[in-house]
Structure 1
Amino acid sequence: MKVIDFFSGCGGVSEGLRQAGFDIAVGLDFDSKAAETYQANFSEALFYNTDIRTLDEKELANAFNEKNKKNDPLVLVACAPCQPFSSQNKAKSEDDIRRTLLDETHRFIVELKPDYIFVENVPGLQKIDKDKEGPYKRFIAFLNNQGYNFVEFIARSEEYGVPQRRKRFVLLASKIGEITIPPKTHGEGLLPISTVRDFIGDFPVIKAGETHPDDPWHRCPPLNERNLERIQYTLEGGDRRNWPEHLINNCHKIHSGHMDVYGRMSWDKPAPTLTTRCYSYSNGRFGHPDTNQHRAISVREASRLQTFPMDFEFKGSIAEASRQIGNAVPCEMAKQFGLAIQKHYLDYGKASKN
């Protein structure tokens, strides 16, 4: 099965689908550093580092058909930027041009006629234009008009083998029969939920501001004197409630929320949702769980908590690589969805022969 990955970022979905046995044929993303990372890891794919609005659908279809001489089934991935729909984005606006990027996929779907479509975004995408015409409502009407069966659901990444609590909205569409929610792999009655320890417990010790000599991405930024003192007081799984009074910000003395800020992770639980600033101790519960390591998690540790393989290559600065990691779909979750798509296709093939 072939994959075209629109809004690919650094390649979380592509990596997961490749692990599931798919051929990654085409990637597209506007971000130049994410494009460098993608191309370093998916040299087999044709890549467009461009705005989808400027790309001609017939040009892409012709290029894809050259790579798909056997007419293998196609999965089109469309994980458009989530910031215009995120509840964390207090400055979101209906004038944000990224809101209409999902609309741009319509003409490619008409031209390419993919067998499957995979859309992932923040929970709330399906609600934000519920009572009026908007990009998601238009997309659903388009899928119905094109004869696709589809299922919508909220996926919890920890229920698909990812050591991280991360809720995402997912739509899977099929041209070849009714499709259902992929079965969970982890949780009650299934495999145990993966933990931080499972994925980063064996990493070598480093200090804040250090880079390990054997892995240029096992590195993290330095901490200022005040934050170094704060993290030294912070227990595993702890936060500012562990600190002496003089280390607590005045705003936190009168506000009891946002306890994840300046927190340490817990070894034997999933990580919190990794954001684009997952390298920063002061921007979430991104402190290392080992109380002998007074630092934020490293870039490589963050990538492992998103289930990227150890040899995945990143391009850019610490901040740029962390943005790519935080924006990515966890590879293992994408892999499980890919395996479900494969099974659906095989089941359909068997049914059609009968």
Structure 2
Amino acid sequence: MKMRKFKFSMSVEKYSNLTDVPCIEGVDLFCGAGGLSYGLAAQGVRVIAGIDVDPACQYPYEANHGGAKFLLRDVTSVSGEELSKLWSPGSFRLLAGCAPCQPFSSYANTATVDKAKWRLLCEFARLVDESQPDLVTMENVPRLQQAQPFNDFLRALERGKYHVAHAVVNAADYGAPQQRKRLVLVASRLGPVAVPEPTHKGSANWVTVRQAVGHLQKLKDGQVSKDDPLHIASVLSDLNRARIRASKPGGTWRDWPEKLVAACHKRESGKHSSGVYGRMEWDKPAPTMTTLCNGYGNGRFGHPEQHRGISLREAAIFQSFPETYRFTPEGEAAVIKTVGRLIGNAVPPKLGEAVARALYASLPSAARSASAPGG
């Protein structure tokens, strides 16, 4: 079977000189390594600043986002007045962000989450109220829409006279080679707005693991590519080496001989936990990337063919970062745990691209024709 290489080709420089027409200028709260910013910029949004409290985000954000500032700040210390000074007069002002979602993830019990843990979404609402941007977008985990903080956020937008649309979408429907369901919200004070339309709707159009990473250099566990320090696979124990050799693409630990099965899976409580120690399938999208996606035992993160977990570069590509995206300075070894966290927490750039298109569509018609990509 002939393999078709899938290549992400986005340029954040393409629209960097749109100075003669009104344009969307974005500030990215909780910007992380810059996935959302990169996708927005690839579709013509002039991203002017990213704000995050994590120092590990600074290098990848600055290295991949030309003219954008990185502000190492806790958003609780940021004021709407400060944000307003970042935007240029006459621009359409966008406030974007993905507040850390751990309190609402599938691993958390939302009924018992301490209210202090959802304060960041409240801070997002505060900054919307104080800075009054023209446009707002948010990405988060689907369970958030079942929680009261999300309803409070919607009410805050309603008080601000925003048109709002939100829905749970699958990143695979927008060109990311990954099954990743996320809650996406877009809001505009300029006119009606809609959740972005899929560009790769349905499994026949999804980008597969083979298309995304099948061309990369083969690795053994513990090995790093000489050409790309991010193409590095974690070391496996002798037991896990035996387990992955016994694993089938798309299969489970039930395919293993009895001697390899973990004790926890033999207990009644673990018999239904089939989503760990699995290999991906070549001709389907990858599963959802998590902050521990480089670990073979943490999910279906085994390479479809090679006897190892996926590399950091493969994980980044599954998130739809371009293959050239830099997470560590040149000559510096990647800290697997840190970079894995940045990749797993990122908004897929392809989803950011789709959001940008939806925001441009909400602009008044005259401004839309002048400022949208190609206008």
Per the normalisation by structure 1, the TM-score is 0.91
**277, 284, 290: which one aligns with 1:262:** 277
CA RMSD of aligned residues (A): 1.9
Which of 155, 158, 168 is 2:169 aligned to?
155
SS in 1 for 2:363: helix
Q: How far did 1:128 drift? A: 1.7
Alpha-carbon separation, structure 1, partners of 2:222 and 2:364: 50
CA distance in 2, matches of 1:317, 1:91: 31
2-side partners of 1:195 and 1:285: how far apart? 15
Distance 1:191 1:229 in 2: 34
Q: Pairwise mapping of residues 304-343 of structure 1 onto structure 2 (< 5 A)? A: 304-315=317-328, 317-343=335-361
Distance 1:168 1:348 in 2: 32
Query: 2:129–2:156: 8 Å Cα contact kept in structure 1?
Result: no
Confirm or deny: 8 A CA contact 2:190 2:362 kept in the other structure: no
Q: Distance in 2 between matches of 1:150 and 1:313?
A: 34
* CA apart distance, 1:238: 2.2
Distance in 1 of aligned mates of 2:262 and 2:347: 34
Amino acid at match of 1:275: T
Q: Post-superposition shift, 1:348?
A: 6.6
1:116 maps to what in 2? Answer: 135
Equivalence for 2:240: 227
Instruction: Note if 1:42 corresponds to 2:57.
Output: no
Structure 2 stretches lacking a partner, 5+ long: 1-23, 329-333, 370-375
User: Pairwise mapping of residues 135-150 of structure 1 onto structure 2 (< 5 A)?
Assistant: 135-150=149-164
Provide the rounded CA distance (Å) in 2 between the counterparts of 1:191 and 1:246: 39
- State the SS of the aligned residue for 2:288: coil
Tell me if structure 2 keeps the 8 A contact 1:83–1:92: no
1:272 equivalent among 272, 276, 287: 287
- Give 1:132's aligned residue: none
Q: SS state of the match for residue 153, structure 1?
A: strand
Partner Cα distance (1:39, 1:338) in 2: 21
- Once the two structures are TM-superposed, the CA of residue 267 in structure 1 deviates from its matched residue by 0.3
Which structure 2 residues correspond to residues 169-188 of structure 1 after superposition, within 5 A?
169-188=183-202
1:23 matched to which residue of 2? 46
Cα distance, 1:186 vs structure 2: 1.3
Using the TM superposition, give the Cα deviation of residue 326 of structure 1 relative to its aligned residue in structure 2, in angstroms. Answer: 0.7
Contact 1:185–1:191 (CA under 8 A) maintained in structure 2: no
Is 2:32 the counterpart of 1:9?
yes
Which consecutive residues of structure 1, in runs of 5 or more, have no partner in the other structure? Answer: 130-134
> Does the CA-based 8 Å contact 1:176-1:348 persist in structure 2?
no
Counterpart AA for 1:14: S
Verify the 8 A CA contact 2:190 2:364 in the aligned structure 1: no
Q: Does residue 200 of structure 2 align to residue 200 of structure 1?
A: no
Q: Deviations over 1:137-187 (max 9, x none)?
A: 221111111100001101111111111111111111011111122111113
Query: Aligned partner of 2:154: which letter?
Result: I
Question: Matched residues, percent identical?
Answer: 39
Verify the 8 A CA contact 1:274 1:302 in the aligned structure 2: yes
Classify the secondary structure of the residue corresponding to 1:27: strand
Q: Separation in 2 of the partners of 1:52 and 1:154? A: 26
- Give the counterpart letter for 2:82 in structure 1: E
Deviation per CA, 1:69-103: give whole Å up to 9, x if none: 5x221221021000111121259854253301122
Of the three residues 308, 312, 318, the one matched with 1:295 is: 308
Q: Deviations over 1:272-327 (max 9, x none)?
A: 1111000000100000011xx11000000000000001111113511111111111
Aligned length: 339
Deviations 1:105-164 (A, max 9, x none): 2343234322211011111212122xxxxx322211111111000011011111111111
Q: Give the distance between the partners of 1:49 and 1:92, measured in 2 at CA.
A: 32
Work out the CA distance in 1 between the residues paired with 2:159 and 2:115: 27
Change (3 A) 1:348 1:257: farther
Secondary structure at the aligned position of 2:282 is classed as: coil
The DSSP-based 3-state class of the residue aligned with 2:48 is strand
Moved more, 32-41 or 142-151: 32-41
DSSP 3-state at the match of 1:210:
coil
Q: Per the alignment, in what secondary structure is the counterpart of residue 277 of structure 1?
A: coil
Letter in 2 for 1:147: K
TM-score normalised according to structure 2 size: 0.86
Distance 1:259 1:174 in 2: 42
Q: What residue number does 1:86 align with?
A: 105
Residue 208 of structure 2 aligns with an amino acid whose one-letter code is T
